[in-house]
Amino acid sequence: MLERLVYRFEEGRASMRDLLGGKGASLAEMTYVGLPVPPGFTLTTEVCRLYNANGKVLPDGIPEAIESEMRVLEEKTGKRFGAADNPLLVSVRSGAPVSMPGMMDTILNLGLHDGNVDGFARLTGDRRFALDCYRRLIQMFGNVVMGVPHDAFEQVLARARSEQGVASDAELSAASLERVVAEYKAVVEREARQPFPQDPREQLMRAVRAVFDSWENERAKVYRRVHKIPEELGTAVNVQAMVFGNMGDDSGTGVMFTRDPSTGEKVLYGEYLPNAQGEDVVAGIRTPLPIGRLEREAPAIYAELQRIADLLERHYRDMQDLEFTVEHGKVFMLQARAGKRSAAAAVRIAVDMVKEGLIDRETALLRVDAQQLIQLLHPSVDPSYTGGILATGLAAAPGAATGEVVFSADEAERLGKQGRKVILVRTETTPDDIHGIVEAQGVLTSHGGMTSHAAVVARGMGKPAVVGCEAIEIHAQQGYFRVHGREIRAGEVITIDGTSGRVFPGAVPLTTPGLSGEVQELLGWADEVRRLGVRANADTPLDAQRSRELGAEGVGLCRTEHMFMAPERLPVVQQMITAQSREERQAALDRLLPMQQHDFYEIFKAMDGLPVIVRLLDPPLHEFLPAEEVLAEEIARMKAEGAEPEAVARKERMLASTRSLREFNPMLGFRGCRLGIVYPEINEMQARAIFQAQAQLLREGFHPVVEVMIPLVGLQGEMRAMDDLVRRVARQVMEEQGMELDFHVGTMIEVPRACLIADELAEIAEFFSFGTNDLTQTTFGYSRDDAEGKFLREYLEQKLLPEDPFVSIDERGVGELVRIGIERGRSRRPDLEIGICGEQGGDPATIDFCHRVGMDYVSCSPFRIPIARLAAAQAELRERDAAKAAERAEVNQ
């Protein structure tokens, strides 16, 4: 069935977003609600798909449809498109089903030409205005449709300003603008090798095609990749009668949020630029007024805006991001969409709206992007820090970040990919800077407001940003910025605090905020809804404590090797590894025992009453030894310096151990329970440390809940041998201590074979924890360390992979093995406790998967606990929705 390809605004509704795009659907809905919207029509996303499939040719009938819709517009407005007198001007704007702010093109004022600019001047009674509109048209059309660089026009404008001796474009006189128009046309002819088209119909058709083309421009593609927006969506194109914010001081243009998008406070929030057209605000070139100023300065307009805001919030039951133009005091709505917001704002708005009766708790839970909650636990500058600041700008995106100063997006990308932390410092950012922002820790700009490109993009990515920090004076070419007489050069370290807007020299101590009352409230609701448990991957008592505060219901993964790495312990660990005899190894282990026991004691205590899964030693032993080259050099140096022969011999033994432990593929080598099979005494020590800590705590009145996890099991025999070992040690400790100890022994499932023989493993293992990092490596045959640098990025760019499988679980491959593992495991032991402890355990899409496949819990890093709590609730709610939908479908059958 063919979709209808063209809709007038009054024919559409908000629900038709996929077809009409966000802007088109919004204009239709606002028209429907009775708000003042300039009339127009929408070419649907289907036209875009046909256009692209068709080799960039508009589908049959579309040019004719545009013609006929233009006649309808002419009737509605009483104006005529291209006419010398009373001409109808239109805008052509993109509008995809998913918001991609600033990514695609817009052209305003179409319909002006040499033959009617005078008539338009007469009509509006403002020759300056008419010329300004015309020069804007030439500039936008020249740039977007004809590919003339922006700079070429800016140079003309700058010259005009300096010739007339004024600071802003708004001050240019009609005479100046007349020259600008002439020069603009010359620029176009020179750069594009063809004149600016004088036929308004040609203008319109070419503008429509150019906006469809902009769906596939580079920056839009990057944006879609970063934001995971499917290529097939396409954009709609809206053709709309122009209204003018640049008709003098009783006109203007603005964007506003119905609530504060940073804090969520219920107050109109936004910016208004008098005597300007929309692109002036978005570009952030002139600094606009806060919207609140209108309350005093133009109370009627403010009241009208407030009325519209309230009406739309009630209508959409969500915070709105509005674009409007005021023409001679009358407000026209150009766009209404759900507003982007910080995590804090998202939570506050959701919670407030529940209290205001606008939405229910379930909606509130689904309203907040779980992933975004990471921002709440983003670092901020330690409040006790008393060092000086460099400057203060607008707090555009919360969180703090430290990094080296870089002045170009390319440089940010290059260094960022090398793993260096950088802060991108720009006068302002443009969509062409996206690739640099992606790789930077944060963004600092000297110009632009809260809705400038830098601010919007950084907020979207959850990166700290300070914008409009006018005190800094950037000399990118020379590689430094100046601030209050001080020079900061590229490569120097600064810290920005996007929560307060402050910029600091050097690296400043950062702390992490707790969770606000609203967040606690929302997460409390989430806890009531969710079925999945949430545990933390925590290796230290501090991590355990912190994750418990964040709502963890236990430790899902306590990695014991990190304890081995502590500087005071490493020599003992090395002694154990290089031991020449079982006795020598035992001696080292005897020294490690009390240290490990102490660790476990503290972690169990921090998690008192909640389960703690301790994983026995996992990494290959050579990870604890210095690199071969380093040792060889050290030995050579010691010998040259005449060191004690015994010391040299000790080093030489270590070198020999390192060499004998060297592996071709350590990921697939001698590690995990394989170590325990060959050197059981290491795991015996660990088991003893675990059970002695447990006994000690029990005696002190605590309630340790102990689970021992065997890593890298792939054979039933391994599970049996290690289970035997752990239980043997437990019996010994119970006997020595004269008390009963309760515990479980289970396994980490991290190789494909373990999934396939999960039934055999479940005969012995009392719990499974999917280690999806390694499972992803073995299922794909990817070494993560190698793949990321060598081919994974290329694969993501070429879309061979839809996602980085180390971030979100690969449902089709890895997920399938997980499903098999769960099914077979439970077939043998129906009450098998099953969780996930790979890094993906804190990823919302993965959590949704874990919910669907019936896991008992997810375990993730402490900072991701709130995400996991919310994502788990959302998974449950989505499941309920799906069940209801299925029920309805059944009833209708």
> Can residue 774 be called a binding residue for its own copies (CB under 8 A)?
yes
> Can residue 154 be called a binding residue for its own copies (CB under 8 A)?
no
Query: Of 810, 839, 843, 848, which lies in the binding site for its own copies, with binding defined by CB under 8 A?
Result: 810
Task: Identify residue 840 by its one-letter amino acid code.
Answer: Q
> Can residue 656 be called a binding residue for its own copies (CB under 8 A)?
no
| Candidate ranges 176-184, 346-354, 474-482, 746-754; the one touching its own copies (CB under 8 A) | 746-754
Helical residues (DSSP H) of 550-581, grouped into ranges:
561-564, 570-577
Query: Of 752, 803, 823, 828, which lies in the binding site for its own copies, with binding defined by CB under 8 A?
Result: 752
| DSSP codes of every residue in 320-345 | EEEEEEEETTEEEEEEEEEPP--HHH
| Residue 552 exposed, middle or buried by CB count within 10 Å (0-12, 13-18, 19+) | buried
CB of 672 to its own copies, least distance (A): 8
Query: Of 798, 830, 889, 892, which lies in the binding site for its own copies, with binding defined by CB under 8 A?
Result: 798
CB-nearer residue toward its own copies: 154 or 791: 791
CB-nearer residue toward its own copies: 68 or 660: 660
CB-nearer residue toward its own copies: 421 or 674: 674
3-class state of residue 677 by DSSP:
helix
> Can residue 665 be called a binding residue for its own copies (CB under 8 A)?
yes
Distance CA 852, CA 830 (A): 17
Residue 62 · residue 49 · CB < 8 Å: no
| Residue 884 exposed, middle or buried by CB count within 10 Å (0-12, 13-18, 19+) | exposed
CB of 816 to its own copies, least distance (A): 5
Query: Of 165, 568, 664, 701, which lies in the binding site for its own copies, with binding defined by CB under 8 A?
Result: 664
Residue 746 · residue 837 · CB < 8 Å: no
CB of 174 to its own copies, least distance (A): 55
> Can residue 701 be called a binding residue for its own copies (CB under 8 A)?
no
> Can residue 445 be called a binding residue for its own copies (CB under 8 A)?
no
| Candidate ranges 451-459, 698-706, 752-760, 885-893; the one touching its own copies (CB under 8 A) | 752-760
Task: Identify residue 770 by its one-letter amino acid code.
Answer: F
| DSSP codes of every residue in 419-475 | T--EEEEESS--GGGHHHHHHSSEEEESS--TTSHHHHHHHHHT--EEE--TTEEEE
Structure-token pair, residue 181: 């128009």
Let me know if 453 is a catalytic residue.
yes
Residues 453, 558, 755, 860: which is the catalytic one? 453
| Candidate ranges 275-283, 411-419, 496-504, 664-672; the one touching its own copies (CB under 8 A) | 664-672
CB-nearer residue toward its own copies: 101 or 752: 752
> Can residue 717 be called a binding residue for its own copies (CB under 8 A)?
yes
> Can residue 796 be called a binding residue for its own copies (CB under 8 A)?
no
Element (H or E) spanning 505, and its range?
strand 502-505
> Can residue 32 be called a binding residue for its own copies (CB under 8 A)?
no
Distance CA 573, CA 566 (A): 10
Q: What is the CA radius of gyration of the chain?
A: 32
| Candidate ranges 194-202, 225-233, 308-316, 806-814; the one touching its own copies (CB under 8 A) | 806-814
Nearest to 200 by CA among 63, 69, 60, 90: 90
Distance CA 513, CA 399 (A): 10
Structure-token pair, residue 452: 């400038």
Residues 48, 673, 755, 837: which is the catalytic one? 837
> Can residue 577 be called a binding residue for its own copies (CB under 8 A)?
no
Residue 851 · residue 531 · CB < 8 Å: yes
> Can residue 721 be called a binding residue for its own copies (CB under 8 A)?
yes
> Can residue 757 be called a binding residue for its own copies (CB under 8 A)?
yes
Query: Of 84, 668, 698, 734, which lies in the binding site for its own copies, with binding defined by CB under 8 A?
Result: 668
> Can residue 840 be called a binding residue for its own copies (CB under 8 A)?
no
Distance CA 410, CA 432 (A): 10
> Can residue 566 be called a binding residue for its own copies (CB under 8 A)?
no
CB of 722 to its own copies, least distance (A): 11
- DSSP annotation of 395: E
- Using CB under 8 A as the binding criterion, the count of chain residues that bind its own copies stands at 49
Tokens 């949430």 found at: 534
CB-nearer residue toward its own copies: 32 or 670: 670
Enzyme catalytic residues = 453, 837
Binding site for its own copies (CB under 8 A): 663-670, 674, 677-678, 712, 714-715, 717-718, 721, 750-753, 756-757, 760, 774, 777-783, 785-787, 790-791, 794-795, 798-801, 810, 812-814, 816-817
